[in-house]
Structure 1
Amino acid sequence: MTAAAPARDLQQPRDLGLLGGLRHRIAVVALTVRDAVGPWFRVAWRYLGPVLGTVSPVGWIVLLLGIAAMVAGRVLGWAELTFVAATLLGALLVAAAFLFGRASYDVTIGLNPRRVTVGDRALGELVVVNVGTRRSTPGRMELPVGSGLAEFSLPAIEPRGRHDELFAVPTNRRAVITAGPAISVRGDQLGLLRRVVRWTEPTELFVHPVTARLDPTAAGLVKDLEGQTTKTITNNDLAFHALRPYEPGDDRRYVHWRTSARTGVLMVRQFEETRRSQLTIIQTVQNSYYETAEEFELAVSVTASLGAQVIRDGTQMSVVTDTHQLRTHSVTAMLDDSCRLELVGRRYATPRDFARETTKRLPPPSVVMIVAGSRMGPTDFRAIESLFGQDARVVAFRVELGAQPRVSSVAGLQIITIGELTDLPKTLRRVI
């Protein structure tokens, strides 16, 4: 018994080698068959695909049951099964008659307006014009709207005639709602066969977040007009710093002639470098930093309110999230992009990593605003603040649904707690 066990152990690698060789041969045969049959299959599918695509899932079930009943009836000699098979296959033949016919439509989807705020009323219009020379037959039109599907029954339309259908678009939450494409459907009432024709491209409706109107310059927290002065010394700027002896290559426009005449040494002006105000808004969309989806929606509204006012003030701005950077060349573009913000899973190890990666290609900011949910603590806010120099002012907005508005300071960092959107304007007045 003790000698038999090693013999089996020695045989096992050989068995594995044979099994591996068999798998290799099977893979080679499969690749050969694929290369030989693949081109013919693609050609056949090019012609058969549209035909087979008209069969609905219910139609395939009826077809398979009909074939099975026919075979079983022949083998068993049961006339009842043959009758059932004839009924099922006959239903498919009758349904095929509903697929014939062609409509000549000009279909238009209109959304009025194309951009709304959460809760506003939005209406859509489906316009169907018969551009053919004959009276169209009654039909059916389907229009996907968001996650729903609107169905319209089309009557017979005279040549150059028009048929309008109105529909309401739900706007109870921030989103980008896609309406379309509009497709006409031909088929039987049982839904066995179905032929569709696409008439339009999808149209987007932007449901913007609710925003609060802020005081001018409040969103930017910037009090200067020409820019913020830094501690960097330069030879060409606005803020005068000091005089120094002339060096070859200096611009003679900045020679201070009075001092040069008094001292007998050619003196030139030095300046403190100033830069135009640049604001950066950082909002995390990682779901672990928000208590609820409603808290995240409030954070998006805070970001949108700040960004909209900064753009109106004409201050340069960047808005970044974990997933993408928002456009900021206009208020409308920024709000459109904010409609696409969604909660995501973990993308970065820490909030500091997220802020560093998303802002490393942006211009150096003079003001930084951090927007996050109630699950982000002061330590995380401080870690993000450490990324920016002393010339940048950093303000954190901690969104906690239902909390009392307050302003706290942690090691010099101002943390503003927002419980509802109406708290934002009055809280910013206290910070400035």
Structure 2
Amino acid sequence: MGNTTRTQVSGASGGRWVSLGLATLRLGRRIRSSTRRTGGVLAAVVTPAGWLAAAWALAGLTVGLVWGWSELLISGLIALILLVIAVPFLVGKESYEVDFGLGHDAVVAGQDAAGEIVVRNPHSRLALPGRIDIPVGEGLIDFHVPLLRRGHEHREKIVIPAARRGVIDVGPATTARSDPLRLLTREFHWADVSTLFIHPVTIAIPSTSMGFIRDLEGRATKTITNEDISFHAVREYARGDAQRQIHWKSTAKTGTLMVRQFEETRRSTISAVLDLNVESYATETEFEMAVSAVGSLGVRALRDGRDVQVLVSGEVPEFARASVRSLRQLRVTTPRALLDDLSGVEASGAVIGLPTVTRMLADSTSDTSLAFLVTGSTATLTQLQSAALAFPAEVAVAAVICDPESEPSVHSVGRMRLLSLGVLDDLRQLLARGASR
């Protein structure tokens, strides 16, 4: 139920004045509201050149009539006539039909995205020349539409530079109708908005060098179970054990029922953790290389049919970092879904550190068999070791350091292997070298 305001006025004589005052107040509010709406319409219709012409007309007519300056009077009249002539160009509905589409809704960083706009005149009358504007992120693409006869159309190819990874909105297309001098303009918005994903650059990693664990069926763990495929040992029979697990040869030798024990086998799961802490990267180039490295690892794992998860830290306000932790898992249903999500990740100073991220990952799941920690050149060895120690001892950990100033190298630091990338292509060689050790 909404709020209700009740006003009571007492006294006959005073009441009339109060009622008049209230009516005046309401009238003033209506006038202010109408003035704001009119001002908004004028701001959208009158161009800077139009405001200049209107000011010149007002000044010229005023000075010419008051002081008798015929030159200013004539120039003011001309400016006024030009404004009056411009009005018919804006009258009527939009005479265009606009179709806009992108050739592809995803491109790789460094490639240009192509699109096409088709402007049609479905009406029986002529469609006057106009202009179409297309917002592209924070930029704008505009082009001129010529005079169109009935049933004719105008096609325009557009090219959207995609130099940097990201997610940008393209559209809606806006048609602008104006007079030849562009004193007045009128815009019509078309509702179609397209999202363009600019994917990170990725490289092809051979499946034979995908990490340091080569098993396809799974890996044996130190967890002992009664049923699996990796034989461990035999023990005495206990109530509840399945009879099919009885080891008869050992039973015959010992004279006691003995059953098989197995090491639990888990399918290999690759966890790729992308460090989003801006302090871990010396330059933006390092961060872009890190995103590309994660994309390359994830796409290769998905195409090989591996279980993979890609994780980044979520943003947390500075005042809450002592008590709040945030972890975000990117979509890994398909390579396209992963690359779409990677298109939108950005480094930030308001995220939790890499060691905290790996502790959250280790606490939330025990399926990880190989962890890639991808970061920049300013991440310290202490931070990386702390992040690696969050995982159980049976998890292989590789830290990928993106540093364009370094030579490609791979070496072990305790239980962790450090892979230093000078360029993205080094990742292929270093993974193959690490897998062969």
Query: What TM-score, normalized to structure 1?
Result: 0.78
Q: Deviations over 1:106-160 (max 9, x none)?
A: 3222323333323335322111233334442222111123443221221233343
In 2, the alpha carbon distance for the partners of 1:166 and 1:174 equals: 23
What is the rounded CA distance, in whole Å, between the counterparts of 1:243 and 1:317 in structure 2? 34
Q: Which residue of 1 aligns with 2:220?
A: 229
For 2:370 and 2:107, the matched residues in 1 are separated by 30
Does 2:235 match 1:244?
yes
| 2:338 aligned to which of 315, 329, 334 | 334
Give % identity. 36
Q: Which amino acid aligns with 2:343?
A: C
Partner of 1:368: 371
- Aligned amino acid, residue 356 of structure 1: R
Q: Show the counterpart of 1:274.
A: 265
Is residue 102 of structure 1 aligned with residue 105 of structure 2? Answer: no
Q: Partner residue of 1:302?
A: 293
Aligned to 1:424, which of 414, 419, 427?
427
User: CA contact under 8 A between 2:54 and 2:79: conserved in structure 1?
Assistant: no
- The one-letter code of the counterpart of 1:171 is A
Residues 43 and 131 (structure 1), Cα distance of their counterparts in 2 relative to 1, 3 Å cut: farther
Q: Is 1:111 matched up with 2:109? A: no
Whether the aligned pair in 2 keeps the contact of 1:137 and 1:155 (CA below 8 Å) is yes
**Post-superposition shift, 1:185?**
0.6
How many equivalent residue pairs? 396
Change beyond 3 A, Cα 1:154–1:230? same
Q: What displacement does 1:329 show?
A: 1.5
1:58 to 48, 58, 81: 48
| Alignment partner of 1:384 is 2:375 | no
Look up the match of 1:399.
402
SS of residue paired to 1:119: coil
The residue that corresponds to 1:7 in the other structure is: none
Matched, 1:130 2:133: no
- What is the CA–CA distance in structure 1 between the aligned matches of 2:258 and 2:213, rounded to whole Å? 34
CA gap 1:48/1:359 in 2 versus in 1, 3 angstroms: farther
Q: How does 1:176-325 map to 2 (within 5 A)?
A: 176-189=167-180, 191-257=182-248, 259-260=250-251, 265-323=256-314, 324-325=328-329
* CA distance in 2: counterparts of 1:289 and 1:42, whole angstroms: 54
User: C-alpha distance in 2, partners of 1:359/1:157?
Assistant: 65
Structure 1: how far apart are the matches of 2:260 and 2:332? Answer: 37
Shift of 1:168: 1.8
Could you say if the C-alpha distance between residues 359 and 267 of structure 1 is closer, same or farther in structure 2, counting changes exceeding 3 Å? closer
The residue that corresponds to 2:9 in the other structure is: none
Alignment CA distance shift 1:381-1:65 (3 Å)? same
1: distance between equivalents of 2:61 and 2:394? 85
Which runs of no fewer than 5 residues in structure 2 stay unpaired? 1-25, 315-327
Root mean square deviation of aligned Cα: 3.7
Aligned partner letter, 2:332: T
SS in 1 for 2:347: coil
Amino acid at match of 2:400: F
Give the letter aligned to residue 153 of structure 2.
Answer: R
Deviation at 1:217, TM superposition (A): 3.9
Give the C-alpha shift of residue 187 in structure 1: 2.6
When structure 1 is superposed on structure 2, of 418-427 and 350-359 the one drifting more is 350-359
Q: Are residues 49 and 394 of structure 1, via their aligned partners in 2, closer, same or farther at CA, if it must alter by over 3 Å? A: farther
1:351 alignment counterpart: 354
Q: What SS is found at the alignment partner of 1:321?
A: strand
Query: Is the Cα–Cα contact under 8 Å of residues 106 and 199 in structure 1 kept in the other structure?
Result: no
Mean Cα deviation higher: 196-205 or 130-139: 130-139
1:117 maps to a residue whose letter is V
Query: Offset of 1:228 from its aligned partner?
Result: 1.4
* Partner secondary structure for residue 265 of structure 2: strand
| Offset from partner CA, 1:25-54 (integer Å, 9 cap, x none) | xxxxxxxxxxx9999799869975873462
> Equivalents in 2 of 1:234, 1:422: separation in Å?
42
The equivalent residue for 2:6 is none
* Structure-2-length-normalised TM-score: 0.77
Query: Alpha carbons of 1:362 and 1:217: their partners in 2 closer, same or farther (altered >3 Å)?
Result: farther
Matched-pair contact (CA < 8 Å) for 2:50–2:83: no
Contact 1:62 1:89 in 2 (8 A): no
